[in-house]
Amino acid sequence: MLRRALGRAVTQISACSCSVTNPMVLRFCGTSGLSSSQEESVARQMIQYALSHARSQKSGESYAQAMLVLEQGVSNFQASSGDSGEDAIGVLLLAMSTLLYERGELGDAIEKLQMVHRLEGASLLVRVAALEGIVGLRLENGEDNASRMQANNYLQLLKGSTDTQASFALDAVTSRAKAIKGLADLATGELNTAELSFSDENTNLEEGKIQKGNAVLSYGEYLHATGNFSLAKDLYERIIEVFEAKDGFDYPYPAAANMVPEEVLLGATCGLGQLLSQSGKFNDSEELLTKALNMAENHFGSTHPKGRGCTYLHCPPV
């Protein structure tokens, strides 16, 4: 079965043009901000096949087959591409981390993201996506202090970067870096420090700025936790409106694990439901929390912890 799955992937990739748009990749790994080299096009096609296969069955076997396809891709690029293929390798590793996360294997997911961070030839967009994912996973795992240290590394990476390829997206990447640092500070109770990471200028969810989704959600969570329900409600609603309108396609930024666009939408829906409950609007709250639960069940499956309730990073406590 594993050999046949790999064979199908190779056959599909060989038959496809490298210019084909792959919505499954954009949906779950957000690679449209990358350059369109042949290596990255092939990597995106491998990811499209692997992710669609894993999620079509949501079984241990289908995920194992998907991981084998991605691992083979990494091995091939390592053997043949050198530094020119490091973005392709990084994108494959981001996708592997996402699959591992969905199976509840947080430690292994972090390990894959750390491998991305060590790819010195990879673009800033790919490397910061890995660091953001590491911070998110450590927060979800209760490693709050470690997450703050990692978030500081995230900011240092931006300050020391000479990557001109990412200059067009530097504003959005910087916003995400500050926001994940603010979220880590919030988790450790450092409210004054967290406040410095957020501003309207850096968290506006403008047209064409959907890549700031994680930053806006983190800011909403900060406002929610500090009692500014009105503005938090506005941000949650804007996130839901924009991300639902995208219908799962064309996300212009790389992301992994619990920082992918589905998690942003799920977190905003759950956060708004809990905020409405705290505001005494129990019927509206129940409707939104039920919607969030159904979204989680559909994406993760009913046996996954996230498929059984709002117990994840992007969900402020009631």
| Residue tagged 């084998």 (tokens) | 68
Question: 260-275: b or e for each residue (b if 16 or more CB lie within 10 Å)?
Answer: bbbbbbbbbbbbbbbb
* Residue 249 to residues 8, 203, 242, Cα–Cα distance (Å): 24, 22, 12
Confirm whether 37 is domain-assigned: yes
For residues 264 and 243, the answer to whether their CB atoms sit within 8 Å is yes
Q: How many domains does the chain have?
A: 1
pLDDT higher at 201 or 237: 237
Q: What is the pLDDT of residue 81?
A: 64
Q: Which three-class secondary structure state does DSSP give residue 105?
A: coil
Size of the chain, expressed as the number of residues it contains: 318
Query: What is the Cα–Cα distance from 8 to 25, expressed in whole angstroms?
Result: 18
DSSP 204-221: ---TT-GGGHHHHHHHHH
Confirm whether 249 is domain-assigned: no
Pair of tokens at residue 22: 């792959």
16 has a pLDDT exceeding 80 = no
Task: Work out the average pLDDT over 95-124.
Answer: 92
Q: What is the pLDDT of residue 205?
A: 60
Task: Work out the average pLDDT over 174-186.
Answer: 87
Confirm whether 110 is domain-assigned: yes
Query: In this predicted model, what pLDDT tens digit does every residue of 56-67 receive, in sequence order?
Result: 888 889 999 999
pLDDT > 70 fraction of the chain, expressed in percent and rounded: 73
For residues 256 and 133, the answer to whether their CB atoms sit within 8 Å is yes
Task: Work out the average pLDDT over 176-194.
Answer: 89
Pair of tokens at residue 270: 């759950």
Average pLDDT, the chain: 78
Confirm whether 208 is domain-assigned: no
Confirm whether 186 is domain-assigned: no
Confirm whether 80 is domain-assigned: yes
Task: Work out the average pLDDT over 100-116.
Answer: 93
Ramachandran area for residue 104 (φ above 0: left; ψ -120 to 50: alpha; else beta): left
11 has a pLDDT exceeding 60 = no
pLDDT > 90 fraction of the chain, expressed in percent and rounded: 32
Q: What is the pLDDT of residue 245?
A: 76
| Residue tagged 């067009």 (tokens) | 168
What single DSSP character describes residue 171? H
Q: What is the pLDDT of residue 269?
A: 95
Using the Cα atoms of residue 196, residue 201, residue 205 and residue 210 in order, give the sign of their dihedral: negative
Show the domain range for 18: 1-122
Task: Work out the average pLDDT over 186-197.
Answer: 89
252 has a pLDDT exceeding 90 = no
Count Cβ atoms below 10 Å from residue 278 Cβ, excluding itself: 14
pLDDT higher at 12 or 123: 123
276 has a pLDDT exceeding 90 = yes
306 has a pLDDT exceeding 70 = no
Query: What is the Cα–Cα distance from 173 to 46, expressed in whole angstroms?
Result: 26
Query: What is the Cα–Cα distance from 213 to 238, expressed in whole angstroms?
Result: 10
Confirm whether 161 is domain-assigned: no
83 has a pLDDT exceeding 90 = no
Confirm whether 283 is domain-assigned: no
Query: What is the Cα–Cα distance from 126 to 106, expressed in whole angstroms?
Result: 19
Q: What is the pLDDT of residue 21?
A: 32
